A and B are shown apart, each in its own frame.
Chain A
Amino acid sequence: MSSSADGKLKDILAKVLLIDESMISDEMSRKSVKEWDSMAHLMLVSEIESAFEVTMNDDDIMEIQTVADIRKTLKKLGITT
C-alpha cells in the first residue's frame, strides 16, 4: 500500500466532505456522510482524477458508494492506495 497515494486520497476526502482525516474509514458511504451529495460526489471524482491523472469510467463513478469503492476503482486503473 502506497502511503503517499493513501495520503492524497484522504486529503481530498477530508476537504471535500469536511471531515477530519483521522476519521476516514473504508466503510464511510454516501449514505452515512451527510456532505457526500451528488455535487460533492462529482467534486470528489474530479479531484481524484486530476490528482492521480486518471479518468474513471462513468458506470464506475455511479456505482461508487463507499471509500472502499473508490479504492477499488482506482485499483482497476492501476493505482494502489
Chain B
Amino acid sequence: MDSKEATPKRRELISSQLEKLLNLVRKEPTHLNYWNAHKRIQKLDLDSLNVPAEKRIRVALLSSFTIDPLGIYVDIESRLAQLHPEIYVAPFNQYQQEILDKNSRLYAFKPDVIILAVQADVLLNENFYSEFVKLSDVEQPQTEIINRLQAILSSLTSRTDALVLVNNFIVPSFTPFGILDNKTDSGFRKFFYELNERLAELYRKSSQVYVVDLEGVASKHGKARCLDPKLYYRGSFLFSESFLPVIADEYMGYIKALKNLTRKCIVLDLDNVLWGGIIGEDGIEGIELGNDSPGNAYKDFQRALLSYYNRGILLAINSKNNPEDAIKAINEHPHMLLREKHFAAIRINWQNKVQNMIELAKEINIGLDSMVFVDDNPREREQMKQSLPQVLVVDLPSSPFLYRHSLENLNDFNVLALTEEDKKRGEMYRARKKREELRESVSSLEDFLKSLEIKVVIKHADDLGLPRIVRMVNKTNQFNLTTRRYTDVEIGKMKEAEDKFGIYCLQVSDKLGDEGIVGVAIVRKEPKTWTLDSFLLSCRVIGRKVETAFLAKIVADAKEQGVSTLVGEYIPTQKNAPVKNFYSSHGFEELAQKGNLYRWKLDLTKHTVNMPEWMEVKNE
C-alpha cells in the first residue's frame, strides 16, 4: 500500500489530534498554550486531511518588527473558525525586499491575505521624535511616510491579487508639548491623527488594500498594555501577550469576511434578553424596559441590535412563550425599539429551540452557519451548541448591563464591501413574507406573477454595483450554472476588457419592494460566438421567471452585435441540480460534454429567447 495515501482512518486520527490541541486553547487560552498548540499542529501531517479549497487560507505576514507571535495567533484563530491556514512570516524587517523582489518567497508562497505591519518609527527619520518640537513643516514628513507606503503598496498590488491589510499608526500617548499639544499649530498627536486620516483616504476606494485601525484597536485595549517593554527592547516584539489575541481578532474580521464566514442573522430569545422579566408572568406593565435601570440596559441592547438591522443584519425570534403575550409586548410596549416588522422570521412557541432554529433557517433561507443565537439561559445555549455546532452561540454575560458590550464585541458580521442591498435587507425579507402571503391568495402562478408587477433592469456592471456582483459570484450556490468564483480583482480586470468579456447584472423590483441586484452573467466574447461563462441568480427571486428575461436580454445583445452562436455552460455541483435543464428548457441544443463541463448552444440565426410578456424591462 502506498504509505502516502491517506486512509479515512488516518484522516480521522489526524483530525482528532488537531481537535485535541485546539481544545487546549479553547479551555485555557494562555499565550503558552497558543504557542504550544501552534507548534504541535505544525508537526501534524495536515496535508492528508484533504481540505477543500474554500476552507484553505494562506496568510503572509510582513513587518518591520518581530511578528512571529501574531502568526501563531492568526493560525490558531483561523483554525478555531474551522479554516485551514498556512502562515508565512517574512524574515525580520525584510518587508521591502520581499515586496520589491518579484522572485521573493512572499510571491512564491502565493498568499490570499498579506498583513503588512510597519511602525511609524521606521518610516521616519531617526531624530524625528527628539527633534519634532523644532520642526517647522510637519506636513513634509507626513507626505514622506504616505509616499513611501504608497510606493511599497503599489508594487505589492501590481504583483499579487491578495487582500492587503496594512495597519495605521498608534497615536502616541506621550507628547513633548504636554497639555499644550492642541494649542500648537503642529501638535505631536495631531501629526499622527492626520497621518492616519491621509492613509485611510488613500485607500478608501480600494477593493484590495484595507487599512486596519490599529490605533482604534490599541485604544480599546489600552495603549499602556499594548507594548511589553521587555519584549520590545530585547526582541523587537511590538505586541504584548495580552494585546496579541485582540489584534489577531481584528485581522480575523477580514479573513472571515474573505472566506465568507459572515454571520447574517441574530436569533433572539425574548424574556431577560430584549426585556427584563418574564412576559407571561409579569405582564406588559411588569417587564423591565425603559429609561431607568435596569430597563435602560435592555433598551440600549435593542438600540445596538437596531443599528445592526439598519446595516443589513437580519433579526429573528426564538422564544418559549405564549405568542399572543409576546407579540403584544413587542408591538405595544412604549419602549420597545424593535417591533414585529424588524424580524425576518418569528418562532414563539413551546417547542424545542433547536427545532425552531432549524425552521427559522429554512424560512429565511440561509444556512445555520450564518446564524447567531442569543439566549440568557445557559442550558438552552449548551443544547444549541451541542445540537447545531454551526450556529454561533453568544456567551451572554449574566448581567444585562454587559449585553450591549458583548454584542458589539462580535466580529462575525463583516463583509469586505457594504452594498445598498445590505442596508435594505431587513425590508426585503419583510416584502418577501408579504409576497408569499399574496401567492397563497392567488389561484395560478401566472396570475400571481402578473399581480406582482415585476420590473427588471438589465445593464452592464458599473463600479457602484461591483461589490455586490463579486459577492454574488462568490456566494451563490443553487441557481448558479457554473459556480466559477472570481475575486474582485479578477472581475475588475474582466470589466476593463470590454471586447473580451461582458458582465451583466440584473435588478428586480416589484410592487412589494426593491430587491436590488439579484442576477449576474459573465459572457466570454469571440467575434461569432458568445459563451455564458457564468450565469447566476439569487435564491430570493427564483420562481419569478426573471432568469428568462435576463437570458433574453443577452440573446438580444448578441444578435445586435452580429453573433451567430450563444453557448451556455453548466458544471454540476452538489447544490445546483435544479438548474441542470436551464439551457435545454430555453431551446438550446446539447453539445458534446467535456469532463464535467456540459455545453449547450443556441443558433441565433434561427432561434431566440423571448421576454416574458407581463414583465416590464428597462435597459440602461
Chain A positions near chain B (C-beta within 8 angstroms): 12, 15-16, 18, 35, 39, 42-43, 46-47, 49-50, 55, 58, 61
Does any Cβ of A come within 8 Å of B39's Cβ?
Answer: yes
Chain B nearest CB from A63 CB (Å) reads 15
Q: How far is the CA of A55 from the CA of B234 in the complex (A)?
A: 12
Chain A residues positioned under 8 Å from B230 (CB to CB): 46, 49, 55
Say yes or no: B231 contacts A42, CB within 8 Å. yes
25 A-B pairs (CB sep. < 8 Å): A15-B32, A15-B33, A15-B35, A15-B36, A16-B32, A16-B35, A16-B36, A18-B36, A18-B39, A18-B43, A39-B68, A42-B231, A42-B234, A42-B235, A43-B35, A46-B228, A46-B230, A46-B231, A46-B241, A47-B31, A49-B230, A50-B241, A55-B230, A58-B234, A61-B234
When distances are taken between beta carbons in the complex, the residues of chain A under 8 Å from B68 are 39
Q: Min CB distance, A53 to chain B, in Å?
A: 13
Interface centre among B31, B32, B234 (most CB of A within 10 A): B32
Nearest Cβ on chain B to A51's Cβ, whole angstroms: 9
Residue B40 lies at the interface, judged by CB distance under 8 Å to chain A: yes
Q: Would you give the 0/1 interface string for B18-47, flagging 1 where the beta carbon is closer than 8 Å to chain A? A: 000000000000011101100110010000
Chain B's closest residue to A58 (CB) is B234
Whether A12 and B235, one on each chain, are in contact in the complex, defined by CB atoms closer than 8 angstroms, is no
The 3 lowest CB-CB distance pairs between A and B, nearest first, are A15-B36, A42-B235, A15-B32
Bound Cα distance A49, B234 (Å): 13
Instruction: Give every chain A residue within 8 A of B231 (Cβ-Cβ).
Output: 42, 46
Within 8 A of A (CB), among B2-32: 31-32
| Nearest-neighbor residue (CB-CB) of B40 within chain A | A18
Residues on A with beta carbons closer than 8 Å to the beta carbon of B228 = 46
Q: Which residues of chain A come closer than 8 Å to B43, judged between CB atoms?
A: 18
Known: A39-B68, A42-B235. 8 other contacts (CB 8 A): A15-B33, A16-B32, A18-B43, A42-B231, A42-B234, A46-B228, A49-B230, A58-B234
Residues in chain B near residue A43, CB distance under 8 A: 35
Chain A residues positioned under 8 Å from B36 (CB to CB): 15-16, 18
CB distance from A72 to the nearest CB of B (A): 20
B93 to A: closest C-beta gap in Å: 15
Across the two chains, which residue of chain B brings its CB closest to A43?
B35
Distance to closest chain B CB from A18 (angstroms):
6
Distance A61 CA – B32 CA, assembled complex (angstroms): 19
**Contact status A47-B32, CB under 8 Å:** yes
Cβ of B235: which chain A residues have Cβ within 8 Å of it? 42
Chain B residue contacts of A50, Cβ below 8 A? 241
Smallest CB–CB gap between B457 and chain A, Å? 57
Chain A: which residue is nearest B235 at the CB level? A42
* Identity of the chain B residue whose Cβ is nearest the Cβ of A16 in the assembled complex: B35
**How far is A16 from B228 in the complex, measured between Cα atoms in Å?**
19
Cα–Cα, bound, A61→B43 (Å): 28
Q: How far does the Cβ of B546 sit from chain A's closest Cβ, in whole Å?
A: 58
In the complex, what residue of chain B is closest to A11 when comparing beta carbons? B32
Nearest residue, chain A, Cβ from B24: A15
Q: How far is the CB of A12 from chain B (nearest CB, A)?
A: 7
Cα–Cα distance between A17 and B35 once the two chains are bound (Å): 10
Contacting pair B39 A35 (CB below 8 A): yes
Across the two chains, which residue of chain A brings its CB closest to B37?
A15
